[in-house]
Structure 1
């Protein structure tokens, strides 16, 4: 193996491992919450699962803003131009804070209606509203944290994200254990205790990250004054690429929320089973998410250097790695499902349905681990965001959702068949991903000259 190959693999895995571990630990908080709430009350678990769909849609908007930031800033980082990177980071932060404030106002005014979108069960709505009234205060802190981490990720600084996730895990789980069940003489707060734990963890996470950037980070050297500036030209460049991503990521969040709507209106056990299966699936999905983020940084940085031949070489090498990651992830999910389900205190019917969902998702994991990093990491990271936008619009809104609604409400198929339909796009999107990455014109230079 020559020096260039060693450098490539070292760069990829240094970013990849840190991001996978960060995602796993972050999702472990959700898994621990689900297990604690499942032991406390299945109604509480279902109520929190419904509210978390709102959080998921919100997270998709922040993900689009962060990914757009990384796409641009990694190319500037390849050219070692940090001044425009700071201006783009400021634009992304302004947009993120606006979304956070808008969501806070909406769920404050229409909390019961917001939870009622996902279930018609009165007790579940009641538990969801109690959770939402506290969790809404996390939105602002979460936006600041995610967009600061995206700015750092564009400069290949990722270790702090993993360290923060460890901190959040222990704070959140510790407070939840005390407040959900009323341990150590604390009040027994149920879902409100889970929300308080998450809020405190998010506040501390944000404060620690700001302190780290102020004192330790030397790549971007971000200051508060950098976030008070606005560059109209760079903002236009940024939103030209990011606006379609915001649109499609928002629709992706709505799509995922609609999955809960579909399953929640079929059987009472389906929403709880889907929550359990989805949490474990999302944890294994971290391997694909990490690969996507690492590929985006590497491809963007390489385009910034101007070496297009190497960009194509890296694209082919990365896709072979994605296939291996997918097969290993699918096998892991298949074998880990039984011991993990054994940790839950659930009704037999709920546990059986969750087990069936996880077997389906084990297969889905293989296709997803190839198409997601190829589409979002290589093609979108290379500057061609519109290809991914168009493909998602067609696959989700013209194929997956119509088919799933028909199977659920017309054919009256079982939740297991509906879950297959809801995840079918993770398999068939592999074909356009392969064709575009090998034969398409996806390499775009997005930077301006200094």
Structure 2
């Protein structure tokens, strides 16, 4: 029996790299395409001048806050999806989808109503420059209608990724990107007799491309009857204490994302009080940062699927070893991408129509991110794996405490009190990452983040603890 257990937990690194190729790369490409859509908006609007770039950048910060408010439910759903998929529990996947969809749509409706009815109020939170606000109002008002579509599409994408169907989200992203590009070209510049709408035209492109994305995803989801079938009755069967279990696991993730979003909002308030060139440079940087996130975000999602599947099936040692593999691979890839971006910073930044001062800012922002982004990636991937393993508290507490005791105060004092140069203010955004890294590396090695929600996973926890302790010569400590 012992030999069989060891065999099932034996790590096959070929499986790890196969997951990287078959799951992570398509997800990364999908994220890349989503980021490209944002870049297309910013580049095309760049022809209208720095003011338009800055306005769209501020609107993107509002969308980022919206993302933080609903992503806690999406992240929680990924935990349950992956573990239930590993255990073959389709009913559990259905219930998770129903709860997550209800909560995420509620958040989307709140933001959609606010963005469409009070766009000036939202923009005024982030910047005090009325010329930027006036350009941004029509953009955010139109984009607000896309918010409910976005959460539904994200949830379906997460479901399909967790059940190892990564082609459909990739195809939907390609079609959405093409739609966005064509409509931007027509509406921003007023082609084919259409009115020249500027930033508002880009917003229409975003809205319509979101509709296309959702339609394609739904088509793939409903046509595939072999992998998993969503059943309305099971989606809302939240009895047997499942709702409590779901909320217990999701609540820390929701708090993590919500407070992280609030922290980033406070930081963005500081950025929004800088000069217009700095705001425009920040808008361009956020798009370039999105490309980095596209790759390591894809790896993070893949790690969640792979680790969650192993933990859910009771193969904890495999999941433990895979976490260490991802924690080394992701920062290495991030460093390489940032190094390439730094090498070609001038042609990249020129795409956004930036002036000389904004170009100067952009170059050194990429240089700072070369170090900070690499560390940040390592922290992000480990926290994603904790969640996939069932532990959602440690990473949440660590991230929020560090954010609000280090990064936010440091950035606020630098920008609002001391009025330091913009690049100095920017550098303070990442002051908490190194401290988090020390704690997360230690916690990853302990294996205490393995806390399965499936019966198969729970039954194998004690054996995993013993194997881990034995591998370190700490068996007596565990027994005590």
Q: Which bracket does the TM-score occupy, shorter chain normalised?
A: over 0.9
Q: How far 1:428 sits from its partner (Å)?
A: 3.0
Give, in whole Å, the separation in 2 of the partners of 1:306 and 1:172.
43
* Contact kept? 2:50, 2:277, Cα under 8 Å: no
Give the one of 153, 159, 162 matched to 1:151.
159
Alignment partner of 1:421 is 2:425: no
> Does 1:30 find its partner at 2:47?
no
**1:389 counterpart residue number:** 396
Q: What is the SS of the residue equivalent to 2:47?
A: helix
Structure 1-normalised TM-score? 0.95
2:203 equivalent in structure 1: 195
Partner of 1:173: 181
1:373 matched residue in structure 2: 381
Which residue of 402, 405, 425 maps to 1:398? 405
Q: Does the Cα contact within 8 Å between 2:252 and 2:393 map onto a contact in 1?
A: yes
Residue 61 (structure 1) shift: 2.8
Pairwise CA RMSD: 1.9
Stretch deviating more after TM superposition (383-392 or 402-411): 402-411
Q: Which string of whole-angstrom CA distances, capped at 9 and with x for unpartnered residues, describes residues 175-219 of structure 1?
A: 001101112322101111111111111111111111111113532
Task: After TM superposition, give the deviation of residue 309 of structure 1 in Å.
Answer: 2.2
- Cα deviation, residue 419, structure 1: 0.8
Question: 1:247-266, CA deviations, whole angstroms, 9 ceiling, x for partnerless residues?
Answer: 22122222223222111212
| Superposed structure 1 runs of 4+ greater than 6 Å apart | none
* Rounded Cα–Cα distance in structure 2 between residues aligned with 1:226 and 1:210: 18
Q: Name the counterpart of 1:410.
A: 417
- Structure of higher CA gyration radius: 2
Summarize the Cα distance change of 1:226–1:53 in structure 2 as closer, same or farther, 3 Å threshold.
farther
Which residues in structure 2 correspond to 1:177-326 (within 5 Å)?
A: 177-216=185-224, 218-224=226-232, 226-231=234-239, 233-326=241-334
TM-score by structure 2 length?
Answer: 0.89
Tell me, in whole angstroms, the C-alpha distance in 2 between the residues paired with 1:372 and 1:227: 30
The aligned residue for residue 462 of structure 2 is none
Q: Aligned pair count?
A: 448
- Structure 2 partner of 1:338: 346
1:163 maps to 171
In 2, Cα distance between equivalents of 1:29 and 1:168: 8
In the TM superposition, what is the alpha-carbon distance from 1:49 to its structure 2 partner?
1.5
Q: 1:150: how far off?
A: 1.2
> Matches of 2:173 and 2:207 in 1, distance apart?
14
After the TM superposition, which of the residue ranges 243-252 and 188-197 deviates more from structure 2?
243-252
Query: Which runs of no fewer than 5 residues in structure 2 stay unpaired?
Result: 1-9, 458-480
**Aligned-partner Cα distance in 2 for 1:42–1:13:** 39
Answer whether contact 1:90 1:228 (CA < 8 A) is retained. yes
CA-to-partner distance for each residue in 1:82-140, whole Å, 9 max, x for gaps?
11111111100000111111112222342211111111111211111111221111011
Q: Assess if the C-alpha contact under 8 Å between 2:285 and 2:366 holds in 1.
A: yes
Is the contact made by 2:33 and 2:177 (CA closer than 8 Å) also made in structure 1? yes
In the alignment, what sits opposite 2:438?
431
User: Does the CA contact (< 8 Å) of 2:267 and 2:412 recur in 1?
Assistant: no
